[in-house]
Amino acid sequence: MATWVTHFRIAEELMKAGVPVSKVDFLVGNIGPDCGIVDEEGNLSPFQRIPKSVTHFKDGPGIKPELFREKYALKDVEPASSAGSYYWGYYCHLITDVEWIKLTRVKQEEPVHQSVKGTPEYNQLVKRDWYWLDFKYLKLHGNHVFWTDVQHIQRYPEYLPFFPEGQTFKQIQNIIHFYCNTEVPIEYEPVYMKEAELDEFVLETADKLRDMMEFDKRREP
């Protein structure tokens, strides 16, 4: 699945493009499916973890964003409302994850991936690159929405019935702590995901989502 900063970056691109949403609610929705509780070591709590079949609307092996869109009748939801912005953000997260899975499957065919694929270290090596790129992006973009909005969230309600009260806000705090308190090497050259590839993914996915949201079209008589 895509990293949290990747989701925030795509949400920011959509808002720059003028999608009519409530900013903070849209940002939270964009990390909504990942709101399992995490302990201090970064592990999901076995007592509060909600299966991805529920949070990511998986039907069989794959994520099915349209199941969410239909269940919560997004065509009738006002995107500028708090709940509506959260729901649309949640939907964007699911689409982004589908696109991310496509990208990673293509990447897995590259020789550099093939050389370590199937080893116990593979996921750790690949994700190290993903998250290092997150940290670099945040370091270079002090006006990114993570700094200006996300880290200042003080509370957040639950809009979906499968999240217990307070779970989303707890995960927001976990995400803030992760990006603000994790030490990463300054001098590092990603091997399994290049910066330009991630930048391209963000822009292309944002373009696709903007077309799929179709706010103006759905308001036509």
Q: State how far the Cα of 145 lies from the Cα of 129, in Å rounded to an integer.
A: 22
| CB-CB contact of 149 with 24 (8 Å) | yes
Angle formed by the axes of helices 167-181 and 4-16, to 10°?
100
Number of helices and strands (H, E) in the chain? 11, 2
For the chain, the average pLDDT equals 91
Q: Is 50 helix (H, G, I), strand (E, B) or coil?
A: coil
Confidence of residue 37 (pLDDT cuts 50, 70, 90): low
Q: State how far the Cα of 97 lies from the Cα of 52, in Å rounded to an integer.
A: 12
Q: Is the pLDDT of residue 216 over 80?
A: no
> Looking at this protein, which amino acid is placed at residue 116?
V
Phi-psi region of 214 (alpha: psi -120 to 50; beta: other; left: phi over 0): left
Q: Is the pLDDT of residue 181 over 70?
A: yes
The pLDDT of 193-198, averaged and rounded, is 97
What digits encode the pLDDT tens for the residues 42-60?
454 544 578 888 999 998 8
Q: Where are the domains positioned within the chain?
A: 4-218
